[in-house]
Amino acid sequence: MKSIQVIYTSQTSCGINLQNDEYLLSGHVKDGRVLVNLCDLVKPWKELSRAQKLNLRLYRRGCVCEISPCTGASCFIEILQKKCLIQVNSFGLDEKALQSICLPGSYGFCSWQQVPDN
């Protein structure tokens, strides 16, 4: 596995400002460059829930799933595909999703799944 040396972000208002700290990043790779912006999950490691930290190894199974932000009524649309919706509002991100893992189910469709605390 390659070590990431540089993380790129946009120079526009969608860019983010990272401090010298540890983060969980969910950006994407384009032309060999790791890119993150305000639409991606960028969370300081110390702010992750206990369930997220304990079950991080399970997230690899969810790599076939896409996590997409949604607002308002679009969050209530049932999607049977390889996508989990995470509600974004003025209070932050959906707490239920932050305590869950987006994983493919028995039919291959992705959904938020609760994981028990260990």
pLDDT in tens, 19-39: 888 888 877 778 878 888 777
Q: Which of 49, 47, 63, 51 is nearest to 102 (CA)?
A: 63
**65 has a pLDDT exceeding 80:** yes
Domain with CATH 2.40.50.120 in the chain: 1-47
pLDDT of residue 3: 65
Average per-residue pLDDT for the chain:
77
For the record, the structure tokens of 115 come out as 């994981």
What average pLDDT does range 83-110 have in this prediction? 79
pTM for the structure as a whole = 0.52
pLDDT tier, 95 (very low <50, low <70, confident <90, very high otherwise): confident
Please give the residue that has the higher pLDDT: either 118 or 90: 90
Which residues touch 14 (CB under 8 Å, ≥6 apart)? 37, 38, 39
**1 has a pLDDT exceeding 60:** no
Long-range contacts of 103-106 (CB under 8 A, 24+ apart): 103/58, 103/61, 103/62, 103/65, 104/61, 104/62, 104/64, 104/65
CATH classification (class only), 1-47: mainly beta
pLDDT of residue 14: 72
